[in-house]
Amino acid sequence: MADHTQYHIAATDGTQLGYRIYAPAAEAAASPNTLPVICLPGLTRNARDFHPLAKRIITDPKRPRSVVCIDYRGRGSSGRAIDKASYTVATEAQDVMAVLDHLAIDRALFIGTSRGGLILHVLAALAPERLAAIVFNDIGPELGIEGLRQIQDYLRAPRRLATWMDAREDLKRVHGAAFPCLSETDWAEMAEAIYTQDENGIVADCDPAIATAFAAADLTPPLPALWAQFDQFPDIPMLVIRGEHSRLLTADTVAAMAARRPSLQAVVAPGQGHAPLLHRPEIAAPLGAFLASATHA
């Protein structure tokens, strides 16, 4: 039996939005009162990033939950937008809302990786009542400039690779120093999550316009912080995961988040950079405990 099912709906502008649903097996079905987990990926990433984690969540022995992993417009299983200017956090937040409305999900636990966490800041203003618990994966209200430049450098050199082995080795070359803990299996899974194969080779599974726009962005003026939006989050369980070698989410930002939210839980992903793989055992265990502890959710 398949571990997930793929679906599509149309956004308000007609762009096809893809999402996948993972459900616990019938014999371990979630309680009707157990809210689902919504997974939101990074800038050029897609729902496949969460595949190993979603399988862990739906088979959790204490509290299995359904999982919905969303592909933003222009990524993964979603269609590419005709209007390239619509690749914005605000529009993508509206797309997330469209999926939630379609599925009649009034409240859920959310995991936001990188850009996904920025989208959650928008949802805190648009629909705070839908947020039952939050996991920020290497993201916060302030973005480290070194981390942003690191992402720009990577996106300025689009890669077309000949084989899946080439894809894996290229990821190790670019990101290996920040992710010394990853196994060969981890690198292979990361390659399969990030890339897709077409008639000309193996390429990033997203609209090139997304990477081009971000790579060309002027980072000279300081980016506005999102502390006002962060303060709009309701009083709900929050966990922030920071990669040990991350330059995007600094330890100072995590400390400032905790100062505003004393109940905030924080975990460091050892041997990982931006953004941590959440299914690694040293992170999956505290993450699983956090999700299980959200008993009111």
- For the segment 263-272, what is each residue's pLDDT rounded down to a tens digit? 999 999 999 9
Tell me whether residue 168 is in a domain. no
pTM score of the predicted model: 0.95
Residues 210-252 pLDDT 10s:
999 999 999 988 788 999 999 999 999 999 999 999 999 999 9
pLDDT at 25: 82
Res 53 pLDDT > 60:
yes
Q: Which residue range(s) make up the domain with 47? A: 5-24+36-154+224-293
Query: Tens of pLDDT along 277-294?
Result: 999 999 999 999 999 988
CATH code for the domain of 277: 3.40.50.1820
Residue 207: inside a domain: no
For residue 103, being part of any structural domain is answered with yes
Residue 27 is predicted with a pLDDT of 53
Q: What is the structure's pLDDT at 221?
A: 85
Distance of CA 295 to the CA centre of its chain: 23
Among left, alpha and beta (phi > 0; psi -120 to 50; other), residue 178 is alpha
- Report yes or no on 12 lying in a domain: yes
> What's the chain's length in residues?
297
pLDDT per position as a tens digit, 21-48: 999 986 555 566 789 999 999 999 999 9
Residue 176 lies inside a defined structural domain of this protein: no
Is residue 178 in some structural domain? Answer: no
Per-position DSSP letters for the chain, written without gaps between them: --S-EEEEEE-TTS-EEEEEEE---GGGPPPTTPPPEEEE--TT--GGGGHHHHHHHHT-SS----EEEEPPTTBTTSPPPSSGGG-SHHHHHHHHHHHHHHTT--SEEEEEETHHHHHHHHHHHH-GGGEEEEEEES--SS--HHHHHHHHHHHTS---BSSHHHHHHHHHHHHGGG-TT--HHHHHHHHHHHEEEETTEEEESB-HHHHHHHHT---SSPPPP-HHHHTTS-S--EEEEEETT-SSS-HHHHHHHHHH-TT-EEEEETT--SS--TTSHHHHHHHHHHHHH-TT-
> How many structural domains does the chain have?
1
Taking only the tens place, the pLDDT of each residue in 93-129 is: 999 999 999 999 999 999 999 999 999 999 999 999 9
pLDDT at residue number 32:
63
pLDDT of residue 34: 87
What's the pLDDT score for residue 1?
47
In a domain, 62, yes or no: yes
